[in-house]
Structure 1
Amino acid sequence: MQDASTNIIIDTRRALKDGTFPVKLRVTYQRKQKYYPTGINLTIEDFEKMNSSRPGREFKGVKLKLEAQEQEAAQIISKLQSFSFEDFEKRIQRDGLPNEVFSAFDEAIARFRKAGRSATADNYMSARNSLRGFVSGKAYASRKGKTKTEIKALLQEEEENTLPLPFSRVTPGFLENYEEWMSREGRSATTVGIYLRPLRALFNEAIASGDVSQEQYPFGKRKYQIPAGVNVKKALGLGDIQKIFDYVPVTESEARGRDMWMFSYLCSGMNVKDMARLKYSQLTDGSITFIRSKTTRSTRHRQKSITVPLMPDAVEIIARWGKKPVVPESYIFPVLTAGLSPEEELAKVKQATKTINKYIKRIAAALGIEKDVTTYTARHSFSTVLKRSGVSTAFISEALGHSSEKTTQHYLDSFEDETKRQHLTNLTAFKK
C-alpha cells in the first residue's frame, strides 16, 4: 500500500491583504491531497529564497521551522497503523501544530507587530486571552486586584492548560455560550463585539486561504450575530462646550488638557494619535492636512486626506503649546519624538490621551457637566453640533474622513430635548 507523503508548498490561489501567501504542509495519499497551515506567510520571492541552497540568515530560521513541522507530520504518519486523513488531523491538533484558533491568533499578533500595528496586535491579544479564559474555564474575576506579574503568570497557566481550539469547534452555539459567559463576568455587549470581531476576521482569512470551509462559518444571519452594543450618546450640547471654552484653568496642566480637547473639537474631531503625529509641514494657507492613522493601512478604500481650515482659536492653541522653534519636519505638539518604535509611540499616545482625559473630566466636574467627557466626546460633539446647526451629513462625513455617510450616522447624537420641544410646538401652532 502506498504511504502518505508530505511536502511544504506556497499556496498562491489567493493573496493575503499584505501581499503574502500562506505556506502550507501538503499531504498526499492515494492521489488525494489536503493542505494544512503552517502559520507562516511569505511572498513568492521569499519562498524561493528560503528554498535555495543558501537561504541566508533572514530565512534560515523559517526554513528550519518548516522542516521541523514537515518532519513532525511524517512521524505522525509513520505511527499510524493505517493512514486516514481524519486520524492524521486528530494527531495534528493534539500535537499543537498551528491549524486552530489560538495559533491563528498568535500568527496574526506577530504579523501585526511586525507591521508596526501595535494597537491592533493588542486588540487581538485581548480577544485571544478572553477566549482562552472561556475555554479553560477561568473567570475574569480571578484577575481582578492582581499585579501585572500575577496576571502574566495566570495567562501562562491558562495557555499551558487550554486544549487546542479547532475552527470546527467554533459554532453558533459555542459563540452564544461565550457571550453568556462574558455577561456573567460583568462584561458588556460592546466588549463582546470588540473581542469577537478579530475572531471573525481570522475565520474569513482561513476561508479565503482554503483552510476552513464556508459551511463552518458561524457568523451571520440565522447563525450567530455579533452584538452591536448600546449606542451611548457621547456628544455635548453647545452650552456645555461653551462652558469648557470659557473655563479659567487653575493650573497649567488643566490649561493644556482643556486646549488639547478643544483643538480636537475644532479640528474635525481629530483623535489624539493624529494630533500627536501632526508636523509643521502639514500647515499651509491657514489649514492643516492629514490622513487618519486609522486608515493609513486600509486596502479597501482609497486613502483620502482631510483638510481642516484652522479656526483662530485652533491657531492660538498651536501658538501656546506647539514646539519651538518651528521646524517643518518637527512634530507640532510635544508628545512624540523621532525614532520611536510602534510600541513606544503607542505608549506615548496612550499616556497623552490619559492625561487629557484626566483634566477634561476634572474640568467637566467643576462645571457641573454630568456626562462622561473624554477625547472621544470631542469627536462626537464636533459632528453632532454641526448636524444640529443644519449642516449636511455629507459634509460631516467628509470632515470626519469616513468612507460612507452610514458610518457618520453612528456619530450623530440625538437632538437635545429643548430642540425637540421647540419642534413639537408646531403640532399645536393653530393655538396661536
Structure 2
Amino acid sequence: MATIKIAFDKRADHKTKDKKYPLVLRLGHDRKTRDIPFNLHLKDNQYDFSTGKITGIMNATRHTKRTRKIYSDVDLWMDEHGGEIKNWEIKKLKSEIERIFFKKSPSHSILNHGAVYLNRLRLEERFSTASSYEDALKALIKFRKSLKGEDDTVLIKTLFELKDGKLKVLDDYNDLDMEIKAMDYAFSKDFKAYMSNRYKSKNTPAIHLRSLQAIMNDAGKTYQDLKDHKPLSSIKKQSHENAPAPLSLEDINAIRKLKLEARTSIWDTRNFLLFMFNNMGMNHFDMAILKRFQFNDNRIKYFRKKTIYEGDYFSVLQNEESLKIIGYYLNGKNDDEYLFPIIPENTTPERLHTVNNGKVKTFNKYAKRIAKLAGIEKKITTYTIRDTWTNIGLDMGIDIRKISSGLGHSSVQVTEKHYGKSVSEKILDEINAKITSS
C-alpha cells in the first residue's frame, strides 16, 4: 500500500549554509521512497510535525495552508485510487502526483530524452553511436555530481535499463537529471571547462559536446518549447589534429619476420595486425565482425561500420599474405560464422561494441609485446595500423585523394584534418622539391 508523509530531506548535500533542509512530501511504495519538494527550506524548529504548522518565515500561514491542503488532497486521492496505484511503479506514482497536485508538466530532461534517442539508435543497430552518446551523458552526470559535492570519480556502467523493449533512466540517476532548458550557455561553458580539466585527450570534450548537441537538437524537433533552445551551438567544439606515430615499412617487415609460436594469442595478434594493414588500415571492429560469406573470389567485401549510413562499401583484393592469414582460420566455416576468432559467435548485436572494446585491449597488450620483440620503440595500437597505411602511402607519393578514398573519408579535407601535420609536410616537401629542382 502506498503511503505519504511530510518530512525533511536531510541528505548532507541538500543542506543549506544556514542549516536549513528541503521540506518534502515523501512517498512510500513497493519498499521504495521518493521525495517531492515543496520548494521550502526550513530549520528543524520551523516545522511542527504534530500540527503541520510552519513558523519563522515570511508568509508562514499561507505556506502552512498550502502544505496541509496538498497533503490532504494527495492522501484522499491515493485512498480513492488505491486499487489502481498498487500495480504502479513508484516512478509513475510520483509523476502523477506531481502532475495533478504540483502542476508540473512532463519533464523534458536530458536523460529522459537521451533514453528516447539512444533507443532509436539501438533499433537502427547503431550500437557504437549509442555507446558514444551515452558516454557524453555519463560525463554530464559526473559534472552534476561534482556540482553537488558528490564523488564524480565513481565508475558509471550505464545510466539506463531496458524495460519492455525501451530504455528507461535508472532510479539512481533521476536526482542528477536536469531539464534541457536549464542547460544554458553559462552551464555549457562550465561543463566544457570541467571536461577539459578531467580528460587527458583534448578531443574528448568536443566529442561529448557534439553528442549532447545531437540529443538536444532532436529534442528541439520533438518539443515545441525547445525549438529555439540551442546553447551548445555557440560553444566551440574544436577538434585537435591527431599526432600519429606511424610505423615504417621497415617496422612492418620486422613484424612479418618474427618467429612466433603458431596458434597462440600473440601469433593471432600479429596476423590481425598484418591483415588490417593489408586492407587499407581496416578498423579492428570491421575486421572482428567479418563473416565467412564476405570473403569471396579472393576479395573481402564489407561496409565500414563507422560510416555505413554514408554508404562506405569496400571490395578489397587480398594479397598473398592476407590469403595465407585467412587460410589459417577458415576451417570449413559456415557462411554466417565470423571469419576470425575474435568475437564469440553467440554475442548479441547489443553487446558487439562492448565485446570488441575488450578485444581491442587484448590486441593492444600483445601488440606491445610484438613491438618489443621486433625492436620497435613506437607504441602499437589498433589506431597505429591505420595511421601507418596512410603515412606509407603518402611517403610513396600516392595522391592524397586516393588515400582519402581508401580510408573511407567523405572528403580530402577530412583526411587533412585527421593527419594535418603529416599531410601538410609531405605536400609542402613535394612542392618545394619540384620548385627548387627546376
The TM-score with structure 1 as length reference comes to 0.67
Kindly provide the CA deviation profile for residues 16-71 of structure 1, in whole angstroms up to 9, marking residues without a partner as x: xxxxxxxxxxxxxxxxxxxxxxxxxxxxxxxxxxxxxxxxxxxxxxxx99xx79x9
Is 2:291 aligned against 1:284?
no
Match of 1:106 among 111, 115, 128: 115
Q: Distance in 2 between matches of 1:272 and 1:243?
A: 21
Residue 136 of structure 1 aligns with which residue? 145
Relative distance call for 1:396 and 1:140 in structure 2 (3 A) is farther
- C-alpha contact (below 8 Å) 1:357/1:375 kept by paired residues: yes
Match of 1:275 among 266, 287, 304: 287
What RMSD over aligned residues (CA atoms) do the two structures have, in Å?
A: 3.8
- C-alpha contact (below 8 Å) 2:360/2:382 kept by paired residues: yes
Residue 391 of structure 2 aligns with which residue? 384
Deviation at 1:79, TM superposition (A): 4.5
Deviation at 1:141, TM superposition (A): 10
Match of 1:118 among 127, 151, 164: 127
Q: Distance in 1 between matches of 2:413 and 2:431?
A: 25
Is 2:334 aligned against 1:310?
no
Q: Distance in 2 between matches of 1:340 and 1:415?
A: 39
Equivalent position SS for 1:289 = strand
Residue 247 of structure 1 aligns with which residue? 258
Residue 21 of structure 1 aligns with which residue? none
Higher mean alpha-carbon deviation, 180-189 vs 124-133, is at 180-189
The aligned amino acid for 1:169 is A
The aligned amino acid for 1:159 is Y
- C-alpha contact (below 8 Å) 1:179/1:192 kept by paired residues: yes
- C-alpha contact (below 8 Å) 2:330/2:339 kept by paired residues: yes
Relative distance call for 1:294 and 1:428 in structure 2 (3 A) is closer
Residue 217 of structure 1 aligns with which residue? 230
Relative distance call for 1:208 and 1:239 in structure 2 (3 A) is same
Match of 1:159 among 165, 173, 178: 173
Equivalent position SS for 1:334 = coil
Counterparts in 2 of 1:25-44, with a 5 A limit? none
Deviation at 1:262, TM superposition (A): 0.9
Q: Distance in 1 between matches of 2:187 and 2:376?
A: 43
Counterparts in 2 of 1:172-183, with a 5 A limit? 172-183=185-196
What's the % identity of the aligned pairs?
25
Deviation at 1:326, TM superposition (A): 4.3
Counterparts in 2 of 1:65-84, with a 5 A limit? 72=96, 76=99, 79=101
Q: Distance in 1 between matches of 2:252 and 2:431?
A: 23
Residue 277 of structure 2 aligns with which residue? 265
Relative distance call for 1:424 and 1:391 in structure 2 (3 A) is closer
Equivalent position SS for 1:189 = coil
Match of 2:249 among 196, 215, 238: 238
Higher mean alpha-carbon deviation, 410-419 vs 355-364, is at 410-419
Is 2:207 aligned against 1:200?
no
Kindly provide the CA deviation profile for residues 206-263 of structure 1, in whole angstroms up to 9, marking residues without a partner as x: 222343555421234xx21113135222432323223222333367322211110110
Q: Distance in 2 between matches of 1:210 and 1:186?
A: 33
Is 2:349 aligned against 1:342?
yes
Q: Distance in 1 between matches of 2:149 and 2:101?
A: 41
Relative distance call for 1:266 and 1:166 in structure 2 (3 A) is same
Relative distance call for 1:417 and 1:239 in structure 2 (3 A) is farther
Q: Distance in 2 between matches of 1:363 and 1:349?
A: 20
Relative distance call for 1:367 and 1:423 in structure 2 (3 A) is farther
Deviation at 1:417, TM superposition (A): 8.7
Counterparts in 2 of 1:318-397, with a 5 A limit? 318-320=326-328, 322-397=329-404
Q: Distance in 1 between matches of 2:125 and 2:149?
A: 29
The TM-score with structure 2 as length reference comes to 0.66
Residue 21 of structure 2 aligns with which residue? none
Q: Structure 2: 5+ residue runs without aligned partners?
A: 1-87, 161-168
Kindly provide the CA deviation profile for residues 318-345 of structure 1, in whole angstroms up to 9, marking residues without a partner as x: 112x130144343221223545312333
Kindly provide the CA deviation profile for residues 382-409 of structure 1, in whole angstroms up to 9, marking residues without a partner as x: 1221122122222223222233222222
Equivalent position SS for 1:216 = coil
- C-alpha contact (below 8 Å) 2:281/2:385 kept by paired residues: yes
Relative distance call for 1:364 and 1:423 in structure 2 (3 A) is farther
Residue 240 of structure 2 aligns with which residue? 229
- C-alpha contact (below 8 Å) 2:246/2:385 kept by paired residues: yes
Equivalent position SS for 2:232 = coil
- C-alpha contact (below 8 Å) 2:245/2:387 kept by paired residues: yes
Residue 55 of structure 2 aligns with which residue? none
Relative distance call for 1:286 and 1:224 in structure 2 (3 A) is same
Between Structure 1 and Structure 2, whose CA radius of gyration is higher? 2
Equivalent position SS for 1:377 = helix
Deviation at 1:291, TM superposition (A): 0.8
- C-alpha contact (below 8 Å) 2:143/2:152 kept by paired residues: no
Relative distance call for 1:102 and 1:245 in structure 2 (3 A) is same
Deviation at 1:178, TM superposition (A): 1.0
